[in-house]
């Protein structure tokens, strides 16, 4: 009788152990099956804008690689904070992602919302693209080189008008850094987007702008109505190879642009993040994707989640400092 009882105990223990091991294995199986339903990719800007266009190109290619549809969900407003907060509060399961721009590193300080510190609310997936800003003047301007531009600013301190896409935007803050490094002064005229400023630049009502909307200004540059003077990033822009950078001409080390990528809510499973990162990097090597991004003035980037984390962290500290020093606000 005792022998029979011992056998039953061993069998019961075996069944319990199997059940426990099975339960432990479930997350691995679930992660391996990811994704098994459509993914939402939230974009913090309106449909049809430069960031949205790039996000859709990337989403389409990644969808085919993942075997699931990636649905782009535009949630503009508050400098990108509406979209950022929505994604941060979503389940960290890899089915709600943010296609972010550098606004996630600027807007928390600009709107005084430290709760949106990207280091704390997101898990980086990968660095997708870098969009340079290009210093542009009207073709009637005497300025032809970065040195010419700085000389004109110093000859006419506080007399030239600079257009930005809005208070606290990357082009506004980049111009503030430029002014500080060159010891120059000019008037800031904020618009509601680069497209709104473009007619005034073409008409000569403003003197210059640092535009990240290269797809919008390229036709005018090619037609000779506008002149590109310099790129703000460390490398030249592929669609404007003859235009030098500020770094190689007048401000060594100068580097500022609109960087873009994908982040998930904090706590997203590592296997899911690794899968998304792998497919993103593959997408960024696709000749069709590379061509489409460069047509928008964007350069494909890529890299690991850890590398993207380091970029976001560095940029958050950098722009928080600039916002504080310049006194920039969202209004």
**pLDDT tens digit sequence for 47-68:** 988 899 999 999 999 999 999 9
Neighbours of 224 (CB within 10 A): 8
Residues 184, 176 contacting (CB under 8 angstroms): no
Rg (CA), the chain: 24
Q: In order of start, what are the domains of the chain with their CATH numbers? A: 34-130+260-326 (3.40.190.150), 134-249 (3.40.190.10)
Higher pLDDT, 77 or 135: 135
Higher pLDDT, 99 or 168: 99
Residues 217, 198 contacting (CB under 8 angstroms): yes
Higher pLDDT, 164 or 6: 164
**E strand or H helix at 281:** helix 270-283
Q: Cα(224)–Cα(139) distance, rounded to whole angstroms?
A: 7
CA distances (Å), 231 to each of 128, 135, 211, 278, 280, in order? 19, 6, 10, 30, 26
Summary mean pLDDT of the chain: 89
Model pTM?
0.85
> Per-residue pLDDT tens for 112-130?
999 999 999 999 999 999 9
Residues 232, 212 contacting (CB under 8 angstroms): no
CA distances (Å), 38 to each of 67, 89, 241, in order? 9, 19, 39
Neighbours of 50 (CB within 10 A): 23
pLDDT at 32: 58
User: Would you give the DSSP letter of residue 245?
Assistant: B
pLDDT at 253: 95
SS3 state at 100: strand
Helix, strand, coil percentages for the chain (3-state, nearest 5)? 50, 20, 30
Lowest mean per-residue pLDDT among 134-138, 173-177, 227-231, 325-329 = 325-329
Residue 63 has phi, psi (to 5 degrees) of -60, -45
Q: Average pLDDT of 290-307? A: 94
pLDDT above 60: residue 144: yes
Q: Cα(148)–Cα(250) distance, rounded to whole angstroms?
A: 10
pLDDT above 50: residue 180: yes
Residue 184 has phi, psi (to 5 degrees) of -120, 165
Q: Cα(305)–Cα(196) distance, rounded to whole angstroms?
A: 36
> Per-residue pLDDT tens for 5-56?
344 344 444 443 444 344 443 343 344 589 999 999 999 998 988 899 999 9
Q: Average pLDDT of 153-162? A: 96
């Amino acid at each position: 009788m005792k022998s029979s009882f011992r056998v039953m105990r061993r069998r019961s223990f075996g069944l319990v152990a199997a059940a426990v091991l099975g339960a432990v294995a479930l997350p691995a199986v679930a992660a391996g099956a990811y994704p098994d339903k459509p993914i939402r990719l939230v974009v913090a800007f309106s449909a049809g804008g430069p960031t949205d266009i790039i996000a859709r190109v990337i989403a389409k290619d990644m969808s085919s690689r993942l075997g699931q549809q990636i649905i782009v969900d535009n949630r503009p407003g508050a400098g990108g904070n509406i979209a950022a907060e929505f994604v941060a509060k979503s389940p960290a399961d890899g089915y709600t992602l943010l296609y972010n721009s550098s606004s996630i590193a600027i807007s928390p300080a600009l709107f005084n919302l430290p709760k949106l510190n990207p280091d704390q609310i997101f898990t980086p997936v990968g660095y997708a693209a870098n969009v340079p800003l290009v210093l542009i003047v009207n073709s009637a301007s005497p300025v032809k080189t970065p040195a010419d531009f700085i000389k004109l600013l110093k000859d006419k301190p506080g007399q030239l008008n600079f257009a930005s896409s809005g208070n606290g935007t990357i082009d506004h803050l980049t111009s503030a850094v430029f002014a500080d490094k060159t010891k120059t002064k000019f008037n800031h005229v904020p618009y509601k987007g680069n497209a709104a400023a473009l007619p005034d630049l073409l008409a000569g009502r403003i003197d210059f702008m640092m535009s990240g909307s290269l797809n919008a200004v390229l036709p005018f540059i090619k037609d000779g109505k506008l002149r590109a003077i310099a790129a703000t990033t460390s490398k030249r822009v592929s669609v404007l190879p003859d235009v030098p950078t500020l770094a190689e001409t007048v401000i060594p080390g100068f580097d500022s642009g609109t960087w873009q990528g994908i982040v998930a809510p904090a706590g997203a499973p590592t296997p899911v993040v690794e899968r998304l990162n792998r497919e993103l990097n593959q997408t960024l090597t696709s000749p069709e994707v590379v061509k489409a991004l460069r047509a928008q003035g964007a350069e494909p980037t890529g890299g690991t989640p850890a590398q993207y984390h380091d970029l976001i962290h560095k940029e958050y500290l950098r722009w928080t400092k600039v916002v504080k020093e310049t006194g920039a606000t969202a209004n």
